Amino acid sequence: MHFDHPYGSIDIDTDSSGKGRLVEDVSPATGNFTTALKGNIGPFLSWGAGAPAGYVGDPAIEHTVVGGPLRNTFDATWTGGAATQNLFTVQGKIATNSGVTVDAAVANGNFLDVFASSEADPGELYVAAGGDVPSTPMQADAPAPGATTPRSFYARIDMTGKSMPSKITVRNIGDSPASSGEVDVTRPSGITVTDASYDGTTLHVRATSTGTAPLTVSGYGTALTDGVADIATTAPPRTVSVTDGTDKATAQVRITDGAVTPAGLPPVAVTPDPGPICDPAPCSAGGPAPDATPTAIIAPVTASLARGDTLALDGSGSTNSTGWKWTQVGGTPVTITGDTAAKPTIKPAFVDPKAASTQPANDPAVIQLVSSNGTTSSAPVTVSVPIKPDTVTVGSGRYKAGTEIRIDGTSTVPGGSLILTPPTTVAVYTAAGQLVGTAQVDTTGAWSVRVRTAAEVNAIPPFTSVRVVSSRGGFATFNGVTTK
């Protein structure tokens, strides 16, 4: 059956009674409020009006919703029929957590200065105890009238005779569960740049240091003598840095004097591009001579291509050529966009995982180029583009007669993102080639095929081995299915 839902469209295998199932699990993490929003389903739907205070709706009541990015209905179509539903059951409490951002923690002598920002109320943020650092409440100013940005929090901790930490944690105990943030402890540079100025010919730099190591001006390698360096230059930098090899301090350069840059000559008109270079000469205006023989040249392809991604081919290096024709002559099918351009793009076709239970062919796509100059065509040349399938694994599987079949695994594209558009689909088959079911891979790379009705389970004879086919060309076998 085909379904159009608030977040997109999907096809789901259903049984003879029309029942189907699609599950997407996103692992939660205490205090982490962004991971749960990274799935393919979102943003949240709500009643919009009339919902219980603090909630998106009442799950015991079917109700119309708002918030769907594409639609606020659930539509189903199948051979010979269609249906639309605008009533949903939604549940969820509106979050009131304000979070915390730890901006910096600076070791200043015997003191540790901690800076944070949050929309929390004063008294809700504190530096968490750890090592020699005591649990310390953070102070906050009242926000300016009408301010919508987070307020600033600050704490100074006396670390005399104690070990300075490498990291500190700040907690917001006003959140439930409490949120927290962590930052590395930094130490201020012992270098101070007291002057960085340019008078039109010389960059003057003055600096002091609490250390004994010699100072140099970064980027120039000029050493400071008695804390001073004068560098002749016609183009001063916007900022200048002084370093002792470990610490560094930076200051903005002040322009104190200098002559005005003289105005330039009027711009010279660009000569029109005469077109491709012809060899041998002579050439007719605007292109190769009619009797010049074109030669097709394709730039080497060094990357492999995953199904669903695109790759640009380059035939612009062809000589005596004003026209191009790209065709596929072998390998994994691809779509060629701009087949008469010098630089077309190709995109491998997806595998239909429900069409076959055997391992998909991922042969390199072989693309042919013939160039021309209007009267003569070149000899054809080809390039092979490696196809990179996803890596499919099966982690576990069980067969419980009359109760449930569940096969779990992962699918990832080597070197690629977990968030793929469209999402990867996998199909699971028994060793005998019978389809068990399909599933969509979630944004963590995980998938799960589950069969839960007695009729569906009993329609598949017990098995201990499966084959998994992916829409991105991946394939895996698994012989560890448990049976009961």
The tens digit of pLDDT for each residue in 343-389 reads 999 999 999 998 888 899 999 999 999 999 878 899 999 999 999 99
**440 and 465, same domain (yes or no):** yes
Average pLDDT, the chain: 87
Q: Does residue 3 carry a pLDDT above 80?
A: yes
Q: Is residue 275 part of a domain?
A: no
Domain count along the chain: 5
Per-residue tokens: 60 = 């015991």
158 exposure class (CB count in 10 Å sphere: 0-12, 13-18, 19+): exposed
Average pLDDT, integer, range 11-28: 77
Q: Quick one: 86 and 106 in the same domain?
A: no
Tell me which of 95, 113, 132 is where a domain ends: 95
pLDDT of residue 335: 94
Which of 5-14, 370-379, 422-431 is predicted with the least confidence, judged by mean pLDDT? 5-14
CA–CA dist 451, 462 (Å, integer) = 13
**Is residue 283 one of the residues assigned to a domain?**
no
Residue 272 lies in a domain: no
CA 150 – CA 229 distance, rounded (Å): 43
Q: Would you say residue 68 lies in a domain?
A: yes
245/320 same-domain check = no
**pLDDT digits 0-9 by tens, 80-106:** 889 999 999 999 887 777 889 999 999
Q: How many CB atoms lie within 10 A of CB 298?
A: 20
Q: How confident is the model at residue 285 (pLDDT cuts 50, 70, 90)?
A: very low
> How far is 281 from 292, CA to CA, in rounded Å?
8
377 — phi, psi (to 5°)? -110, 150
Lowest mean pLDDT among 24-28, 190-194, 249-253: 24-28
Assessment of whether the complete model's pTM goes beyond 0.85: no
Q: What percent of the chain has pLDDT over 70?
A: 90
Q: Examine residue 286 and state whether it is found in any structural domain, yes or no.
A: no
**Domain that includes residue 352, residue range:** 305-388
Burial of 478 (0-12, 13-18, 19+ CB in 10 A): buried
Q: Does residue 293 form part of some domain? A: no
Q: Are residues 313 and 353 in the same domain?
A: yes
Give the tokens for residue 470: 């992916």
- Residue 288, pLDDT > 70, answer no
Q: Rounded to whole angstroms, how far apart are CA atoms 99 and 105? A: 18
176 backbone dihedrals φ, ψ, rounded to 5°:
-135, 105
* Residue 361 maps to a domain: yes
Least confident piece of the model among 11-20, 59-68, 86-95, 376-385: 11-20
What is the arithmetic mean of pLDDT over 8-35?
A: 73
pLDDT of residue 276: 54
Are 177 and 234 contained in the same domain? no
pLDDT of amino acid 290: 56
Same domain, 34 and 73: yes
Residues whose CB is less than 8 angstroms from the CB of residue 269 and which lie 6 or more positions away in sequence, other chains included: none
Same-domain check for residues 478 and 404? yes
Average pLDDT for 265-280:
63
